[in-house]
């Protein structure tokens, strides 16, 4: 799959911080059952790589690694079975080997300079991060005008209520959110169903 196909799979990508790998598969099952197949496991905990491997066992799940900030983490994520890579920022040192590998890649950007760096690398799909503290919907709308080819997944501070505002922008293919998972799995599945039903602009 290309990064655009992954971004178009569902309107919300759950951003997951997994402290116990034993919880990963049931959580993935609840999210996928609710209609959210694309799952981003952030490399913020010692359990993250095992969680990626566990979630990959769930039929229909498309599992990626987030918070990738080094080439070493990229290689670790690939060994764990990650199908796409998300980083909080964009540097040539990180981006170039990922681009060369043909692994779907979603780097973080917050400014016009970030986007110009991405364009120079041939990238057109980005995570707008941290979305809310970088100016929110208004800032992204302003950036999307000159960078009209770019497509975005805003992430950072987005709530269920805010998600619809971002998704109304034509340049936004999906949003990243962590609001889905701070509950038991039955509630997670209900929230996932509501998120999967959100309309895009």
Q: HSE-up of 101 (CA within 13 Å, CB side)?
A: 16
193 φ/ψ angles, rounded to the nearest 5 degrees: -60, -45
* Structural domain boundaries in the chain: 3-196
- Separation CA 69–CA 71 (nearest Å): 7
CATH (residue range 3-196):
3.20.20.70
At residue 85, the 3 state secondary structure works out as: strand
Peptide bond into 130 cis (omega under 30): yes
pLDDT in tens, 21-31: 999 999 999 99
Alpha-carbon torsion, ordered 98, 127, 62, 43, to 10 deg: 70
| pTM tops 0.85, yes or no | yes
pLDDT digits (tens, 9 = 90+) for 102-138: 999 999 999 999 999 999 999 999 999 999 999 999 9
Annotated catalytic residue: which of 29, 40, 132, 165? 40
Active site residue 162: no
Angle at 131 between CA 127 and CA 133, to 5 degrees: 145
Residue-wise pLDDT for 151-192, tens only, equals: 999 999 999 999 999 999 999 999 999 999 887 878 999 999
pLDDT digits (tens, 9 = 90+) for 13-68: 999 999 999 999 999 999 999 999 999 999 999 999 999 999 999 999 999 999 99
Which residues have C-beta within 8 Å of that of residue 105, sequence separation ≥ 6? 3, 84, 85, 86, 87, 95, 98, 99, 123, 125
Interatomic CA distance for residues 39 and 25, integer angstroms = 11
Contact call for residues 161 and 140 (beta carbons, < 8 A): no
Q: Is the pLDDT of residue 150 over 80?
A: yes
Active site residue 127: yes
Catalytic residue among 29, 83, 127, 132: 127
């Amino acid at each position: 799959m290309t990064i655009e196909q992954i971004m178009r799979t569902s309107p919300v990508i759950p951003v997951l911080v997994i402290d116990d790998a034993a919880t990963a598969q049931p959580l993935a099952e609840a999210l996928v059952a609710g209609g959210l197949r694309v799952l981003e496991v952030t490399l913020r905990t010692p359990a993250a790589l095992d969680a990626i491997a566990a979630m990959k066992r769930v039929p229909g799940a498309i599992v990626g690694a987030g918070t990738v900030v080094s080439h070493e983490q990229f290689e670790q994520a690939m060994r764990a079975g990650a199908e796409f890579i998300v980083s909080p920022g964009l540097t040539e040192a990180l981006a170039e080997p990922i681009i060369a590998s043909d692994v779907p890649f979603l780097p973080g950007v917050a400014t016009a300079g970030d986007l110009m760096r991405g364009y120079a690398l041939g990238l057109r799909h980005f995570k707008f991060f941290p979305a809310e503290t970088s100016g929110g919907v208004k800032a992204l709308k302003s950036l999307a005008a000159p960078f009209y080819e770019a497509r975005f997944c805003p992430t950072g501070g987005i709530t269920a209520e805010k998600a619809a505002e971002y998704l109304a922008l034509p340049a936004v293919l999906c949003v990243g959110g962590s609001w889905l998972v701070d509950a038991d799995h039955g509630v997670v599945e209900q929230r996932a169903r509501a998120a999967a039903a959100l309309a895009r602009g």
